Each structure stands twice: as C-alpha cells, then as structure tokens.
Structure 1
Amino acid sequence: MAAAAAVAVSVLVSAGCGSESHAAEEQSVDLSKLDTGNYGTKPRNVQAKNPAQIGKYLEALRIGNIMPLAQDIDPALTHNVPDVNPFTSGDSFLADQLAGNAAAFGWLNMTEFDANTPGFIAGFQTGARSNEDSAISFELKDAVMVFESDDAATTAASALARSGFGKDEGTEPAHSTTYPSAQIAWTAKDQALASWYATGKFVVLALAINHENAMLHESDQPGLLSLSDKAISVTVDRLKAFQPTPKDKLADLPLDPQGIIRMTLIRPAGDSTAFAFDGTLDAHGALHPADDPNTTRALFDKTGVDLVSYGAGQVVRTRDSAAAATYVTDKGSAKFQRPVDPPSGLPGARCVEYHGPSKNEFPFRCLAAYGRYAAEVWSTQKQDVYQRISAQYAMLANSR
C-alpha cells in the first residue's frame, strides 16, 4: 500500500519499557506455546529510514487528529466511508482505491497531481454518508492539504479545480456567496458538487454527493452547496488549532513519542487489510476509520481510550487493565459477530466470525487485552487471525 509504504520503518529488536505487568496473565499464558507464525513477538525500536519523508506522513496524521468528522459537519452523516487515509503524494491519495475501495477523490486527475501541487507537504481525507446503503444516501468527502506557503496553496486550489472533475462532461462552475473565492464544480447528472478552498497554507477539498437524488433524477444544487459551505466552515475553524510544522522541522517530528508503535504488530509486506496505513491517531482521529463513529466514541469514552496504533491490526491504550478487558468484551460483541474458539494457548482472547450483509467486512476478528492495552486483529483466514492475535499478545507481554 502506498500510504503504508510512506511510513516504512527499520525494525531493530530491543529490550525496553512498555505496558504494565499482569502477573495473572503471565501465569496463565505460556508465550512459548503460542502459534505466532512468521509474525514478530518482541517490541520493536522503530526508526525512520527517511526522517524527512516520514515527517510528512506524521504531519498528515497530525491533520487527521484535528479534522472534523463528517458527522461534526452534518449529524445525519452517521456511516463513515472506508476511504480514509493520510497522504503525502497523489499515489497515497488513492491508497484506499488500491485496496479495492473507491477513493474519496478518485475523480482528481492524478497524472497531473504533482504538477498541480508544487509545495505540497501532506494531507488527510475522510468522509461519511447518511445511510449504510449508498444508493439512498447523501455523502460528504472532506480533505485538507497543507503547503509550504500561502501562495502555493492558492495556486494549487485553482490548478486542482481545473483538473479531473472539472473536465467531466456536463460539469459546470458553481458559486458560493459564503466563500466567493472557492473554486466549485457542479455535475447535475451525478448530483455532485466539488469545492476547493484555499485558506492560508491549507486547501480544503469538499465533495458533496446526493446518490438518491441522482437515481431519482431530482436536483438539489442549493442543498449540496450548503453542505459544502458547512464543510469548509467547520474544517477551517478546526484548522485554527493546527500549527503546520515548518518544512525544515518535519524530520524532527517524533515517530513513536508514546511508545505504542513499538508494541504494535508490524504489517507484513504486501498486506492489504483494513486501515491501510500505519502510525498513531488520538481518540478523535481514530474515529475517522471507524465504521460507526457514535458507537466507537461511546466505547472510547467508556474505557478511557486516548491513543490508537495501526499496523497488522490495531492497539488501543485504555484507562487501565479493567477498561482494556471491557473494551475487548464490548468490541467483540458487535452485531453480526458470532463467537468462535480462541487460538490454542490464549484462552482470554475473544474471537468472532462475521455473519452479516457487508461485503467489505473481514470474516475473522480476534481481540485480547494485556495491561491497559487492548489489541484487535482481522483476517480472511482463521489461522492467520489466530497467529496475529497470538503474536500481538506476545509482543505486548514482552514489552513489560
């Protein structure tokens, strides 16, 4: 995955500090008897191969932590879409599409992306729709890009607006009285309205679509324009709290300041599982890739989650060991999930098989807690999910 490759790290095994110890778990789980396959079981000393490039990626994750959810813009947008990722290039902008999903801004002309965006540093994209069934929903996809200078952002907004979407047949310009400087394109056939708005070093990209109206051959440009304006307004307001990292300081951004990536199972080469990016997001940022942000937020609040690390699965840091156990129980009891036996040697793991309508859901999922950390992994194969959770548990235990 392009996005995952952007944060590639050199892995050095080292002893180190980490999660709190759990004597009862150590007595009941013999790590040497776990089937961990080819996955690592020791904490890693993560070190950037290219600090400047990794710094751009970390900047993208920083943007994700302050970006509004689509639901923050319109409460009806309750179903997050899968195309969420940090990006540092046109290729990583399309990373989720490479994983088999529809990229949020796949309508952009990526062959011209680099030429259109000189001075581009990093960005983050997110989105949601009003119904699980896209055919009867309206949708908002929102992205922020940060540039080296105000002029670079202004130039890029105009160039991007002239490329890709704006060239589609039947597309015509539209105008916002709230944001008269925004570059806006409207396609009546698809009931889609795209806006590019430059503010300081940022470009906000908003794509508002009414799929149901398109199917019914009804039109509501004012409604989509209002949604786009609201997306710009809320996003710009959130950006006031974000201080871009100077280009010459990007290499100084810490890769693992909380010491959680070192305890997160590394993604195998070529792996294309869900959440096709690596790194950490805070409790707000981690709501972007959540299918149901309301349920996830409630669980985070209940268990005191403040940090989530992504790799070959995800590790969440909860309030304490009791909260971690609660997280595993609650997350493993979701709708359409049927319990299956845990892997051999790890009786405390909670494993489930999905039986539901979603074609994008991984069939197997396992969770386990160690200290204040709760780990979750998923796979298309039961044996693989068993090996992943066993290795992830061992890695957390070896980090004490």
Structure 2
Amino acid sequence: MRYGTGRLRSARIRLRAVAAAALAVSALASAGCASNSNATAAQTVDLSKLDTGSYTTKPTPITATDAVEAGRMTEALRLGNAMPLPMEIDPALTHNDGGVNPFTHISDVLRAEMKGGHSAFGWLNEAAFTNDPAGFVAGFATAARTDADESLGYRLTDVVMVFDSDGDAAAAAAAEGADGFLDFGFGTGEPAQSSAHPAAHLSWLPGDQCLASFYPTGKYLILTLVNNTENFYAKISDLPDLIAKSDKTIDVTADKLKSFQPTALAQVDSLPVDPQGLLRLTLPRPAGDQTAHAFDGVLDGHGALHTESDVVLARSLYDKAGVDAVAYGAGALYRTRDANAAKDFVKSNVDKFLHRIDSPPGLPSAFCVKYHGPDVHAFPFTCSVVYGRFVATVWSQQQQDVFQRISAQYAMLANGK
C-alpha cells in the first residue's frame, strides 16, 4: 500500500515563498518604501491599473445556497481545529503527508482520491462507504510521516467523523471496520484486537504492515491507519507495534475531542459560514478549481498547521507572527498579530529552489517566485503580498494567472479596509 502526497501539493513552497516575501517587504520598509498603515499601503498602488483578469476585486459577502451543507463544512473545520497534529501524537511525525481533508461526504475523500492513490482512507474497501453512514455530520482527516523518504519510517492517518448520536457512530464503526481492505496483492485484511480499546474494530495486512482501526467513542468515530513502510521493505512483521501506535493515536485524539462541542445535524444550518469575516476578504476559488487544498474555509492557527508540510518550521513561524487564522480560497490568507508581525512573517529558510521573478505590473510590493526543483507536484509560480496584518499567498501553473490572482487579492484587501 503506497501513498502519494494527496492534496497538499505545495505547502512547503508556499510557506517559504511567504518567507521570501517577508524579507523583501522588510527590506522595503527599512528603506522607507513601505508603511505600517493600511492607508499608506493603499495609496502606493493604483488599483485601477492592476491586471486582475476575471477575478473579483471587491470583498465578497459569503452566502450559503445550501445552509445545511455549508454548516456541515463549518463543523468539519471546527473539528480540524480541535484535532491533534500528528506530531502531537508522535513527535517523530514531522512530515505532513497530504490527506488533509475537511469533508461533509465520505465520497469527498474516498473514491476520487483513491484513483490517484491519495485517499485519506488508504486502500480500505469502499463497499461500506458507498453512501454516507446514518447520522454522519462531518469529518476531518490528517496524515504525516516520520521521514520525507516514503520508504523509511511509518505513516499515520488520523480521521475523525462526528455523528448525530452515539449509536450512529458505533454502527458505522462496525459496518466500516468489517469490510477490510481492497486486495492489491496483500489480501483483504485479517482481524486483530486491541486490549486497550476492545471496542475498536481492527483489520491488518501482514504483507503490507498496515493496520486500520475503527474506534467509536460517544458521537465520534476515530479511524486510524498506520502503515510501516520501512518494515514492509525490511520484511519485518510487527503487529504489536502497529497496535501500540494506533492505541496512542486513539488516546490522544479522544482526549483532544473532550473540548469539542459537536453540533447536532438538525442545527448545523445555524452555524455561521464566515464567523470571523475572513472569507469575504479571501480571493474566491474559480469554479472547478481543485488546486492545492481544494476546500474553502477558515482554520485557526492550530488547525492550519495540518496543511503545512514542514509543521515544525510552520509552528515556530506561526507562533512568532501570532498567526491566529488562515483562510483558504484561490490562495491562502494569513492573519497575523499586527502589521509589523505580517512584515516579519517567516524571515528565514527560503527554499533554494525558489527563484525570484518580476512582480506583477503595478504591484511592486508583491514578491513572486518560480520553482525549479525536484518536487513534481509543486506549483511553478507563487506570489505573496503583505497588507496590514494580512499576508496573502497564491499559486498557479501559469505566470499570468498567478499575477492576476495576487493583484486581485491585494485589491480585495485594499477595498475591504
């Protein structure tokens, strides 16, 4: 069972492009070419001369055409904020590895992703996932590895699904845990047992050194997938170690969920779509756009770390800049402590594979780079800009498109002051 990088295509490059942008902005500020005030920043740019293509330049009020669906996505994001980072389960899990998905339907993270080998659910048999289980409200998945090399160490996927009742969660665990894995030459899985969590439904693949555990606890179903690729290549079978890692994941996750207050399915339509007013300032994702995270919404400073590939670096940078929220749309919008923190956001670790290119016409404060490196999933072009306490970053396959995106995003922030 081999895994890909999932939807997390360029988080490290994005973060380090922000680093480079912060350095550039800091240099401009020290030279007297930038100001801490939003008003001064806006006066240095003639918005009418920016090439924004077909992207909007005005803050966009967020309205839900389907209040229930929108509420379920808000619930999924709230769940992500509450869940532990993989490195909080095991400090060795420092390399976030895709599979980051707030989801409102099982199919969102199963069948389409499985075709590319990036499913948050690994290669579990999809029979029990054909339809959403009864009472399913929302879920969040996160994954990480102990080593950047997929042939070393192990990979952990931690998924939490919240249900409308304890009975719904227990029924889903039993049904989904019984189906095992798809057979890709390793069989469909053998039963296993956890003495620490006897209510968990376990299935493991001895030939692939992968263990799946479905554990119901209250209204939650905690799904863990532990895949020790290093043991697979070394032909070492160690079920007790897989169970121990799964047990630890369940314990830490269940403890974190104690502070989470789930929303009843009948009440999710009352959850605010844009509770902090950040999405209205974030460049909307074009119809059909599936780049990078492929979800729209806001995570808090903790939840957003699920999306960063270099979580150790990101956590340090977030803490220093006071990043308390990140909004995702056609790019990412970071809210820092204040204007000075935004300018200082990420001052080091600029990736050697990022090469500076010209800024978009009319927006000299934007810092744009082109990626030349080994990551075939990385977006070639990334641009960042600072406005007040915000740092905006966009990415694209095309230079003109990334220029238009960052120009439109800047205009949105300037028009939203």
TM-score (norm 1): 0.91
Q: Which of 341, 362, 368 is the matching residue for 2:379?
A: 362
- CA distance in structure 1 between the aligned counterparts of 2:116 and 2:345, rounded to whole angstroms: 29
User: How many matched pairs?
Assistant: 381
Residue identity matched to 1:78: T
Give yes or no for contact 2:107–2:129 (8 Å, CA) kept in 1: no
Q: Which of 203, 210, 227 is the matching residue for 1:209?
A: 227
1:186 aligns with 2:241: no
* Structure 1 residues not aligned, in runs of 5+: 4-19
Q: 1:368 to 1:96 in 2, by over 3 A?
A: farther
**Following TM superposition, by how much is the alpha carbon of 1:318 offset from its aligned partner in structure 2, in angstroms?**
0.5
- CA distance in structure 1 between the aligned counterparts of 2:131 and 2:116, rounded to whole angstroms: 26
Residue identity matched to 2:351: A
Give yes or no for contact 1:265–1:391 (8 Å, CA) kept in 2: yes
Partner of 1:153: 169
**Following TM superposition, by how much is the alpha carbon of 1:31 offset from its aligned partner in structure 2, in angstroms?**
0.7
Give yes or no for contact 1:70–1:140 (8 Å, CA) kept in 2: yes
After the TM superposition, which residues 273-352 of structure 1 pair with which residues of structure 2 at under 5 Å, given as runs?
273-327=291-345, 333-352=350-369
Q: Deviations over 1:4-58 (max 9, x none)?
A: xxxxxxxxxxxxxxxx961321221111111111111100111011111111111
1:33 aligns with 2:49: yes
Q: Which of 52, 73, 87 is the matching residue for 2:103?
A: 87
Give yes or no for contact 2:86–2:143 (8 Å, CA) kept in 1: yes
RMSD over aligned Cα atoms: 2.0
* Structure 2 residues not aligned, in runs of 5+: 1-6, 8-35
Partner of 2:415: 398
Q: Deviations over 1:193-213 (max 9, x none)?
A: 110000000000000001111
SS at match of 1:240: helix
Residue identity matched to 2:393: E
- CA distance in structure 1 between the aligned counterparts of 2:45 and 2:112, rounded to whole angstroms: 37
Q: Deviations over 1:318-350 (max 9, x none)?
A: 11111111227558x334222111111111111
**Following TM superposition, by how much is the alpha carbon of 1:101 offset from its aligned partner in structure 2, in angstroms?**
5.8
Residue identity matched to 2:400: Q
Q: 1:68 to 1:84 in 2, by over 3 A?
A: same
Give yes or no for contact 1:83–1:97 (8 Å, CA) kept in 2: no
* Identical amino acids, percent of aligned pairs: 52
Partner of 1:52: 68
- CA distance in structure 1 between the aligned counterparts of 2:284 and 2:348, rounded to whole angstroms: 25
Q: 1:92 to 1:317 in 2, by over 3 A?
A: same
Partner of 1:136: 152
Q: 1:166 to 1:99 in 2, by over 3 A?
A: closer
1:118 aligns with 2:134: yes
**Following TM superposition, by how much is the alpha carbon of 1:361 offset from its aligned partner in structure 2, in angstroms?**
1.3
Q: Deviations over 1:141-175 (max 9, x none)?
A: 00000111101110100100112428771521111
Q: Identify which range, 366-375 or 94-103, moves more after superposition.
A: 94-103
Give yes or no for contact 2:283–2:412 (8 Å, CA) kept in 1: yes
**Following TM superposition, by how much is the alpha carbon of 1:266 offset from its aligned partner in structure 2, in angstroms?**
0.5
TM-score (norm 2): 0.87
Partner of 2:264: 246
Q: 1:335 to 1:221 in 2, by over 3 A?
A: farther
Structure number with greater CO (CA < 8 Å, separation at least 6) is 2
- CA distance in structure 1 between the aligned counterparts of 2:197 and 2:107, rounded to whole angstroms: 29
Residue identity matched to 1:386: F
